[in-house]
Amino acid sequence: MSMPQNDMRPSPEAMLKAAQAEEREGKRGRLKIFMGYAAGVGKTYTMLKVAGQLKLEGRDVVAAYVESHGRAETDALLEGLEILPKAQYDYQGVLLPELDIDATLARKAEIVLVDELAHTNVPGSRHEKRWQDIEELLAAGIDVYTTVNVQHFDSQSDIVTQITGVAVQETVPDSMLDQAAEIMLVDIPPEELLERLRQGKVYISEQATWAAQNFFRPGNLIALREVALRRTAAKVDDEMRSYMETRAIPGPWPATERLLVCASGSPFSEKLIRTTRRLAEELKAGWFTVYIETPSHARQQQENRERIWRDLRLAESLGAEVATITASSVAEAIIEYAQRHNVTRIVVGKPAKSRWRELFRPPIVDQIIRLSGAIDVHVVSINVASLNLVSRIFHRKPDVPWFDYLASLALVTGATVLLSLVQPFQSPTNMVMIYLLAVVVAAFRLGLRPAVLTAALGVLAFDFFFIPPRWSFKVQDTEYLFTFFGLFIVGVVISTLVAKASERSEVMRERELQTESLYYLTRDLATAADMSSIMAAVLKNISETLEAQLVVLVPQGEQMEVSTISKDLILDDKELAVADWSFRNHREAGVSTETLSSAKLLYLPLHTSSCFLGVLGVKLANMSEYHSPHNRRLLDAFVTQISLAMERVLLAQQAEHALVLQARESLERALLNSISHDLRTPLVSIIGALSSLRDENLQVNDRRRHDLLSGAWDEAERLNRFVGNLLDMTRVEAGELRMQKVPCDVQDLIGCALAALDQRLEGREVKVTLAADMPFVSMDVVLMNQVLINLLDNALKYTPTGSSIEILAQASPQHLLVEVLDRGPGIPEHDLKRIFDKFYRLPVPEGVHGTGLGLSICKGIVEAHGGSIWAENRTGGGLRIAIHLPL
């Protein structure tokens, strides 16, 4: 083998692509398209024949929507198949049959037949187009067989229109064709088709008859057939290419090209976009469509904005990457974008502007070519004649209110009056300044055109009122003609400059507003620690910025539940269903989209790369707001920010949950250890003592008998205390400290604790020091009593016999302070805080047993009272435990 091995290996990218395609195919259903070049070639018939064959082979084939148009042969083929009922939609009083997508999804057949890929659904259906229904079926893993004529593909429709002169209304994105696993060309010679037409075997609806007469001409049919054959061949070519790529068959692969086309809202845009798509396909290139929003465009009419929106959607459906950019110079923005995305070719249309405007501003094409550098520029010609009609509509400048022109007239009048007052003292040339001032004011206040009008009126007024001969437009001194000309030109230049500056500042202001609203949302989201504060931030910021009503829905089990909603917004079941669809399909839906567009709100799925979190529903003031690129951009940014914040909170919750679980686990382990130890140890001595006494063979003298009994007694007491502590702990833990606070005599409290420990005190001195006039303090007597008992118990256990124990109590107007002091060994400094932790035990002298619960119970109880408890070592040795309670 002469070639190095590794050159023959498929590239990892190619393998990955193939693997992804295979994987996708594993999950998604396979699409088979029966393609023809005209009605009547026998697509449905062929599809049914294939289906019948599969049925015989035992495959699960059902007809979800097949229209036989009453043809006997087709009906005969249908008979052998299971036919799903059609949905009926009421459209303006007429019931129209449609594909019942839910029933089809529910049927879960292996292969589903859906006729007429290019069909447009009745308004009110889930999707605008049938191809979207089919997408959903494929996404659900169902194989779909469908039929279509070649002219319905987006990229082919304008060619077909050129050939036949009949506009194609219903189009399908080329991506459907690209993703089809199989294409079957249904082909009969045009002569045969015409013959069938004559025999009435071709179904043509009544409305289409007039078009059909134009359509079914031998020339058209031959051309269409060629288009169909070519399109099929291109698809085969693609498959071949990808086959060769994955099998590492060497060949000349073109370097990656990238194309860019600009959507301008002009009627040519659509053609430009389609042309670019074809070019991109030929070059195997990626392509971009950008819309540059300039301040003047921002003021464009609603109609034109919708057109821009449609253009961008078209480009997207043809496979372009789409972007909207705000800038003041179209050419500069295009070049900047192109350079950033390594675009190799820019496609532009030949300008159709009139000559005189080019004097003032070079056409955008020229600007682009001048700036393009290494990037190729393709200039595409446009048939102007066919566009004149529309261009009149779309190129109308935004209206300036008539009173602005009136105001410029008033300005000139004002200037003239002023000048007539000073006229005796001034030479006429100086008067020009006042008119210029009027122009500047007009440019600032009224905009470009009123300012130009002001300049013109100024010249006329100057001539008429002040230049000899006065009260006439005649001019004696030709020198003044220069003054007029100068006044006008300077006026126009000033107007233009000022207008441009204010346009720029408008762009800046809009951007600033946008940045600001994003900033506020991001800031609020960053500080939001839980879902409810995220929702509050979302509601506040978005409804303010977009003047919108909105709702956020999050999944709760199987259902979508409202997480937050604007005050006056009401969601009915239908809206919820749209939101649900959007969430499940991870695609936007509702008003202004192609899916379930009869909804009142626009639903955008909230998701990050790793998870799907919910749906944002937005209701804007009117339709045009939905199509504004500005709003869309903001919404997209908002959705991203919200999704990230929600994901952050969710992850934090999960982490916290895991931590809590871990802590609980380790606590449970410690508890179990402690319980088994503390329960068993006393039982050892008790059972041991009892067994010695019970066993009659053992000679137990009185002294031993007494020792055994008192040992067992002590251990039983200890066991009882431990169980009591456990019970208390459980109650503190469970938050079941239903406190019964009553005003309480502190002296009584201390007395009770001492009485409870009476036996254990064994005559040990406990010094009680109470401040005079102690107030009654509100507390739960039983629980606080337990706190004191535990503290005294500890003091008894851990200090040498005979050392002093003291209780101090004093009160300030706000607090009660109770201290238990001992002269024991104290506690190492670093352990002072930990002694209140559960099951924390100090290493203690032998014979002293604690449960490690007493102090943590104290802490729980004191804190439930809103107080605090702490420990410190005393100067001179010993421990001081202090309790601080609010009065």
Q: Give contact residues for another protein (rule: CB under 8 A).
A: 716, 720, 724, 727-728, 731, 740, 742-745, 747-748, 750-752, 754-756, 768, 770, 776, 781-782, 785
Instruction: Give whichever of 86 and 718 is closer to another protein, judged by the CB atom.
Output: 718
- CB 851, min distance to another protein, A: 16
Instruction: Give whichever of 351 and 724 is closer to another protein, judged by the CB atom.
Output: 724
> Which residues 6+ apart lie within 8 Å of 104 measured at CB?
62, 64, 84, 112, 137, 142
Asked whether the beta carbons of 73 and 46 are under 8 A apart, the reply is: no
CA distance 25 to 179: 10
- CB 781, min distance to another protein, A: 6
- CB 790, min distance to another protein, A: 14
Q: Which residues of 555-591 are buried (b: 16+ CB within 10 A; e: fewer)?
A: eeeeebebbbbbeebebeeebbebbbbbbeeebbbbb
Beta-sheet pairing, 143-149 with 111-114:
parallel
Question: Is residue 114 helix, strand or coil?
Answer: strand
- CB 637, min distance to another protein, A: 59
Retrieve residue 107's tokens. Answer: 């049927």
Instruction: Give whichever of 726 and 871 is closer to another protein, judged by the CB atom.
Output: 726
Instruction: Give whichever of 218 and 743 is closer to another protein, judged by the CB atom.
Output: 743
Q: Which of 854, 850, 864, 836 is nearest to 732 (CA)?
A: 864
Question: Is residue 212 helix, strand or coil?
Answer: helix
> Which residues 6+ apart lie within 8 Å of 359 measured at CB?
none
- CB 713, min distance to another protein, A: 9
Q: Which of 723, 712, 727, 769 is nearest to 746 (CA)?
A: 769
- CB 529, min distance to another protein, A: 38
Instruction: Give whichever of 270 and 745 is closer to another protein, judged by the CB atom.
Output: 745
Omega before 4 cis (within 30°)? no
Instruction: Give whichever of 220 and 786 is closer to another protein, judged by the CB atom.
Output: 786
CA distance 472 to 460: 10
Q: Which of 257, 259, 337, 258 is nearest to 291 (CA)?
A: 337
- CB 675, min distance to another protein, A: 18
Instruction: Give whichever of 779 and 881 is closer to another protein, judged by the CB atom.
Output: 779
- CB 759, min distance to another protein, A: 10
- CB 811, min distance to another protein, A: 15
Q: Strand locations in 6-103, DSSP E?
A: 31-36, 61-65, 82-83, 87-91, 94-98
Q: Which of 23, 19, 50, 21 is nearest to 34 (CA)?
A: 50
Give the rounded distance of the alpha carbon of 520 from its chain centre.
17
Instruction: Give whichever of 738 and 830 is closer to another protein, judged by the CB atom.
Output: 738
- CB 883, min distance to another protein, A: 17
- CB 747, min distance to another protein, A: 6
Asked whether the beta carbons of 602 and 620 are under 8 A apart, the reply is: yes
Instruction: Give whichever of 248 and 675 is closer to another protein, judged by the CB atom.
Output: 675
Instruction: Give whichever of 623 and 727 is closer to another protein, judged by the CB atom.
Output: 727
Retrieve residue 431's tokens. Answer: 């008067």
Instruction: Give whichever of 319 and 724 is closer to another protein, judged by the CB atom.
Output: 724
Asked whether the beta carbons of 292 and 312 are under 8 A apart, the reply is: no
